[in-house]
Amino acid sequence: MPDNYNVSRGTTEEAEYVRNKLIEFNKKIVSNVRFEEVHLCVKNDTGEIIAGLNGIVCWNWMEIDILWVDEGHRGEGHGAQLLQEADRIAREKNCTFITLNTFSFQAPEFYKKYGYEALAIIEDAPIGYRHHFYKKDLLAR
C-alpha cells in the first residue's frame, strides 16, 4: 500500500458517503435494492412515548434494530404490540423474514414467544453477558 494513505476516524457525513457507496455497489449486483426505515411508537394519553421500535426493510427482510419499553410500562403488552405491528408491516412489504438481536440482560426469551428462533449466541458480548441473534420466518406462517 502506498505510504500516502492513512486511516482516520470519519465524520457523520463521511460515514454516510461510505454507506451510499456500498448501496451503489450493491445496486449493481442486486438491482431491486430497497431501504425503508420503520419507526413505531406507543404513546400514553398525554403523548409521552412509553415504547418504540426502530427497524429497516431491506431487500426481502426486515431488521429490527431497537425495541424499547419504558421500565414503568413493561409487562403491559406494549412490546408485543410493537412486534405484531412490525410483523404486519413486514408482511405487507412482502418480506420473507425478520431479524433482530438482543442481549441476555434484556429480554431474549420474550422474542421466542413471538416466533423468533435463535440463530447464534455470542458469549461475553459484553463480558459476562450474551448477545443473541434471532430470525422469524414469515413464509412458514
* Alpha-carbon dihedral sign for residues 118, 106, 65, 16: negative
Q: Which of 7, 70, 9, 15 is nearest to 41 (CA)?
A: 70
Q: Which domains, and CATH codes, for the chain? A: 34-137 (3.40.630.30)
In this prediction the pTM is 0.85
What's the pLDDT score for residue 1?
57
Strands (E), the chain: 35-43, 49-58, 61-69, 97-103, 117-123, 130-137
Q: Of all helices (H) and strands (E), which one includes residue 71?
A: none
pLDDT (average), residues 2-6? 81
CB atoms within 10 A of CB 65: 13
pLDDT (average), residues 24-41? 87
* Alpha-carbon dihedral sign for residues 14, 16, 21, 22: positive
What's the pLDDT score for residue 141?
54
Distances (CA, A) of 28 to 15, 18, 33, 34: 20, 16, 9, 13
In this predicted model, what pLDDT tens digit does every residue of 88-128 receive, in sequence order?
Answer: 999 999 999 999 999 999 989 999 999 999 999 999 999 99
130's CB contacts (< 8 A; 6+ apart) are: 103, 104, 108, 121, 122, 123, 124
What's the pLDDT score for residue 85?
98
CA distance 58 to 2: 36
For residue 103 the three cell numbers come to 442481549
